Each structure stands twice: as structure tokens, then as C-alpha cells.
Amino acid sequence: MKIAFVGKGGSGKTTLSSLFVAYLADAGLPVLAIDADINQHLAVALGATEEEALAWPTLGDNMTLIKDYLRGDNPRIPDAASMIKTTPPGRGSRLVRPFEDNPVFSACFRQLDGVRLGVTGQFDEDDLGVKCYHSKVGAAELLLNHMVDVDGEYVVMDMTAGADAFASGLFTRFDVTFLVCEPTVRSVGVYRQYADYARDFGVRLVVVGNKVTDAEDVEFLQEQVGGALLGWMSASRHVRAAERGAARPIAELEPRNLETLSSMRATVDAEQRDWARYQRQAVEFHLRNARAWAGADLVSQVDPEFVLSPQLAVQSS
């Protein structure tokens, strides 16, 4: 299952994604997490020190390696430089499993408390005024386009705030998208914007309330988002302790909040991916990018007879 966390900036998106990742890992489940937020805080939220987080290898700095590895011997892609963030896999491409060993995972991912964690990387001085953040997130999009995950495997991405994910086809790469929503008009506004953009693409959008303090907050969320509301997270001493650097085991989270995490996992586990649609949407957004800015010649990268599926054996290096 591929899972995204989105929401208004400051809504607690990273906090909730880290709690969900820790909840899965504590259950002994295999979790691959990717921090794709422009504010790179997921590593620290999962227990890394600030120094460890700053030293973490990044997907953005390894884009050439990622492209070259995923390209494999696909005859439609002559070299790594010709790939863009939306390039879909085809016959000859290398596919990856989220928990295998390969050069990309060796270079870009590290283990942290039972979680395989990668980060897209943050802006540095050389990027300012020159690049948009999607130049880094594009590495994660390429990886998800070529990833074959199966039942019992969890890939969790902490996304950029607001509706930034719609700058590419990345928003279609997930089986469930959890939108973290505070009981405020502005936060609900982000939900409505996201729901409007996602409506025509079969995105499974689920709202999880956060920073809920009383029954009025719950009532507000229920009135504003209706049946999209799965549950909510109440004010948490556990989270406050973690924010002060005193991380506690996830099992010590308040029972009511643990119930919400349990409901989130049940929602994810109930989903069934349509692999044909998954591939079709990857192709659709690649064609859009090719025709809009990357060059119409990149249309030829599409292999019309290829469909990503769990039955495909991962090609060896």
C-alpha cells in the first residue's frame, strides 16, 4: 500500500505521518517512509537527532543514479538525461521492491527504528531562485512509478503542504491519501481544494482531524467534511513530549488516538489497487508534461504494451 499525508501547512501533517509510520513499525510491519515536504522534519519526528537528519542522504542529490538505475535497458530511453520525473516504466526498465537491496536504496535510504527512510532533500543556497521544489520531489515520483509493492508492505510519504502535489502526477501514486485537517475554516478550505482537484482521478481521500480539543471541534469537522472524516487526534501529551525531544514508545500514545491510528490502518488495508489504472495515469501525466514543457519527442518513452503489476519479476542489475 502506498499512502500519502497532505494538508495545510502547520496542520500537523508530519506529526501524524510519523505517528502512523511508528504505529506500523511497532506492529512489526515493513515500512518505507519518504519525506517529500519542503520542510524536512520527518526524520526528527521519527527519532533522529537534528545532526543525523542533516547528514541523511537525499533522493534529490542522487537523481542521476536513480534515473540511470531505473532506465535499465529500456530501448525507449537512450540515457538518464532524457528521463523526466514522470517517465513511466516500460519493457527493459528496472522495477524495484520497497525492501530489496539495490544501489538506489543503498545510496538514498537508511534504517531508523525499524523504518526504511528516505528524504527528498531541502533547498540549499544553490537552489534559491533557480529551481522549484519539484526538482527534488521528482526523484520520489520516478521511484514510485517504478515500484512494485505487495500486500503487507507499506510505503508512506509526507507530502508538501497545500495543493502543491498537483504540480505533477504524484498525487495519483497513492492508494489512500490522508488529509490532515484542523477544525478551522482555512484547513477545511485546503481539504475542499484538494477534493476538487482529485475528484476526476479516483483518489481515495480520507480526512483525519487534528488538534481537536472538544466536542465543538468534532462537530465542526463533521459538518464541514461529512463522510470523508475518518477520525481525529486529540491534544496529546505524548506528542508534546516528543516535540520537546523526549520521544516515547508509540504504545504509550493516548488510547483514543491509538484508535484513530488503528482505523487508518484498517482503511489502508481494505484498499485494492487497480494496476491498469495506476499505469494509465502515469502515462497520462507523462504525456501532459511532454507536450507542455519537456518536449513532444518524450512521448516516445511510453511503452503502450507495458502494465506495471505484482506479477512482474524485478529485473536484476
The pLDDT of residue 135 is 60
Taking the model in full, what pTM does it have?
0.93
| Residue 181 reports pLDDT greater than 50 | yes
Transcribe 140-192 into DSSP letters. Answer: HHHHHHTB---TT-EEEEEPPSTTGGGGSGGGGS-SEEEEEE-SSHHHHHHHH
In a domain, 270, yes or no: yes
In a domain, 317, yes or no: no
Which candidate, 196, 186, 229, 232, places its Cα nearest to that of 212?
A: 232
In a domain, 183, yes or no: yes
In a domain, 54, yes or no: yes
Which candidate, 61, 66, 8, 63, places its Cα nearest to that of 37?
A: 8
Q: What CATH number has the domain bearing residue 281?
A: 3.40.50.300
Cell readout for 147 is: 515500484
- Domain residues for 282? 2-312
The CA-based angle 87-88-89, given to 5 degrees, is: 125
Do residues 90 and 298 touch, judged by C-beta distance below 8 A?
Answer: no
With bands split at pLDDT 50, 70 and 90, how would you rate the model's confidence at 161? confident
| Residue 83 reports pLDDT greater than 90 | yes
**Strands 115-119 and 31-35, how do they pair?**
parallel
In a domain, 131, yes or no: yes
In a domain, 193, yes or no: yes
In a domain, 237, yes or no: yes
* Helix orientation angle between 63-71 and 134-145, rounded to the nearest 10 degrees: 20
What's the whole-number average pLDDT of the chain? 91
Residues 277-286 pLDDT 10s = 999 999 999 9
The pLDDT of residue 128 is 42
Residues 18-71 pLDDT 10s = 999 999 999 999 999 999 998 899 999 999 999 999 999 999 999 999 999 999
How much of the chain exceeds pLDDT 90, in percent?
79
Domain count, the chain: 1
In this structure, what are the phi and psi dihedrals at residue 69, rounded to the nearest 5 degrees? -70, -50
